[in-house]
Amino acid sequence: MNGTTDPGTGDIAVHVVDDDPAIRDSLAWLLTSCGLLVTVWASGEDFLAAWSAAMRGCVVLDVRMGGLSGLDVLARLAAAGSLLPVIVLTGHGDVPLAVRSLKHGAFDFMEKPFDPAELTARVRAALDLETRRHADHLQARDLHARLDSLSPREREVMELMLGGSLNKQIADEIGIALRTVELHRARILEKFAVRSAVELAGRLAEVRRDERRGGAPEAGDPFAD
């Protein structure tokens, strides 16, 4: 690995993965000259060995490499829940392979030889997308922490609240005093920093949307055989 940033620090960088040193150097020079941080990798294996959930930015990935192909790398990143958008570089006229890369989850593809201005624009679009994904992921993680802070009784009350039950109905349903329900309800809203059950339902819906997109794992080696 070469580059201007440590991939483990969470810096937002463009991670160039290509087994052709001339292409790697060209991409690194182009993107660095545009003010972007860049790391370069000579193989998919090297990149995956360094990947972690903390890695930020986007990937510019050659689809045809010795060892793991670009499609192999895409598949492993998707299986690991990576949030990094991937721009795939394909040979001129290799449309079927480009289509396959999109089906494997690539953000975009470009044919070689590429137009420098167009590539730079697509890289910036990918970085913007990753910034939004990362913010959504952090928000979801925060909401999960708030969920974990609830007591079993608070969870029970919350589920009934979200189902539309009034305080008196909740008290009758679980056999506790109305005042106790009111206290639980107030603590639940306080823990989630919301003012109503409707607002709480909206925040929890955001968590579900993030989970459907797939979040990055926090630990473990997702690429171990």
Residues 188-208: pLDDT tens digits? 999 999 999 999 998 888 767
pLDDT of residue 149: 93
Task: Assign domain 140-213 to a CATH class.
Answer: mainly alpha
Please, which pLDDT band fits residue 21 given cuts at 50, 70 and 90?
very high
pTM of the model: 0.70
Percentage of the chain beyond pLDDT 90 is: 58
Per the prediction, the chain carries an average pLDDT of 85
pLDDT of residue 92: 60
pLDDT of residue 10: 64
pLDDT of residue 213: 55
- The Cα–Cα gap between 150 and 45 comes to 42
The H-or-E segment that residue 49 falls in is: helix 44-50
Domain boundaries, the chain: 2-136, 140-213
124-175 pLDDT, tens digit per residue, is 999 999 999 888 888 888 888 999 999 999 999 999 999 999 999 999 999 9
Residues contacting residue 91 through CB under 8 Å, at least 6 positions apart: 64, 97, 111, 112
Assigned fold of 2-136? Rossmann fold (3.40.50)
Residues contacting residue 82 through CB under 8 Å, at least 6 positions apart: 51, 53, 55, 216
Please, which pLDDT band fits residue 224 given cuts at 50, 70 and 90?
very low
Report the candidate in 125, 124, 128, 119 with the shortest Cα–Cα distance to residue 30.
119
pLDDT of residue 91: 76
Q: Sheet containing 2-3: give its strands across.
A: 2-3, 38-41, 12-17, 56-62, 86-90, 108-111
Say whether pLDDT at 22 is over 50. Answer: yes
89-106 pLDDT, tens digit per residue, is 987 667 777 778 887 788
- The Cα–Cα gap between 52 and 40 comes to 16
